[in-house]
Amino acid sequence: MPELPEVETVRRGLEPSMTGVRIARADVNRPDLRWPFPERMAERLTGTTVERLRRRSKYILADLDTKETLLIHLGMSGRMTVSGDPLGQFVYDHPAQEKHDHVVFHMANGARVTFNDPRRFGAMDLMATGTEEAHPLLAKLGPEPLGNTFSEDHLISALKGKNTPIKSALLDQHVVAGLGNIYVCEVLFRAGIHPARKASKISAARIGSLVPIIREVLLEAIEAGGSSLKDFRQADGELGYFQHNFRVYGREGQPCVTPDCASRIKRITQSGRSSFFCPTCQR
């Protein structure tokens, strides 16, 4: 499932083809993804210009000149790819449409942006620009981990008295938005905190230390173009490569990367998901 760095990578990849560009035609090839598409979606998108592409948590938000905002969620297996050449310097053919190409944006600059989603857990919706924080999918989200409102004070007070394991607490989207399983495993390794430790039993200083580590891990992952496990691709079809930098995720039984640590990475299941950690480095 794409996490924040993967969605940010896709957003950045779409910008040259979409920002400031008119959608000459939108094809909507089915009535729904995870939920029904908004009414007359193709009609409401056709002819509009994309003024801005933003991201909130794992959602891409395209502000249109009709004062509507298109929300895009990649779900489990959604992929947005660009074909064609927005700068018009070369002649590229667009690939033939594929089975799971559910929504296609034909941009006025010649680019074609395709939303493909075999499992259809993705979503799209339209809302008045400026009302997105009240949208049911966004209303309860905590602060953006890379934004100014995500601070040590926020995290310390959000986790105060929480009797859940720190791993689950950090996956709680009310606490911080956009963090998923992979990056929480990596963050806890760098912080030296055992994933099963109860949040309430960790000192405020150690909780606070998670804030810069969360930012560091996410920024490194964005820099690497996200992590390509299973389906994820960047908008240009390239793979991300942060998976080569994982220190614990997916490394069960392999030696810990900490110099002089003789332990091997362990895996436990927490709330149905795998947690990877070093039993020596993480306490």
Contacting residue, 7, 155, 182, 278, with Zn ion by CB under 5 A: 278
Query: Contact, 73 vs 57, CB < 8 A?
Result: no
| Sheet with strand 59-64: strands edge to edge | 50-56, 59-64, 68-73, 123-128
Q: Is 162 annotated as a binding residue?
A: yes
Helix (H) or strand (E) holding 7: helix 4-18
Q: Quick one: 245 or 280, whose CB is closer to Zn ion?
A: 280
Q: Which two tokens stand for residue 236?
A: 């240009």
CA distances from residue 93 to 80, 88, 112, 164 in whole angstroms, order as listed: 17, 12, 10, 52
Q: How far is the CB of 244 from Zn ion (least distance, A)?
A: 19
Q: Enumerate residues 6+ apart whose C-beta is below 8 A from 258.
A: 278, 280, 281
54 is catalytic: no
3 is catalytic: yes
Q: Is 198 annotated as a binding residue?
A: no
The residue count for binding Zn ion (CB under 5 A) is 7
22 is catalytic: no
Q: How far is the CB of 194 from Zn ion (least distance, A)?
A: 12
Our finding on whether 243 is near Zn ion (CB under 5 A) is: no
Alpha carbon of residue 56 to chain centroid: 9
Contacting residue, 258, 264, 270, 273, with Zn ion by CB under 5 A: 258
Our finding on whether 256 is near Zn ion (CB under 5 A) is: yes
Q: In the beta sheet, which residues pair with residue 53?
A: 62
99 is catalytic: no
Our finding on whether 274 is near Zn ion (CB under 5 A) is: no
Q: Quick one: 108 or 261, whose CB is closer to Zn ion?
A: 261
Q: How far is the CB of 189 from Zn ion (least distance, A)?
A: 8
Q: Is 119 annotated as a binding residue?
A: yes
Burial of 207 (0-12, 13-18, 19+ CB in 10 A): buried
Q: Quick one: 173 or 280, whose CB is closer to Zn ion?
A: 280
Alpha carbon of residue 144 to chain centroid: 11
- Residues taking part in catalysis: 2-3, 58, 273
Extract the annotated binding site for DNA.
100, 119, 162
Binding residues vs Zn ion (CB under 5 A): 256, 258, 261, 263, 278, 280-281
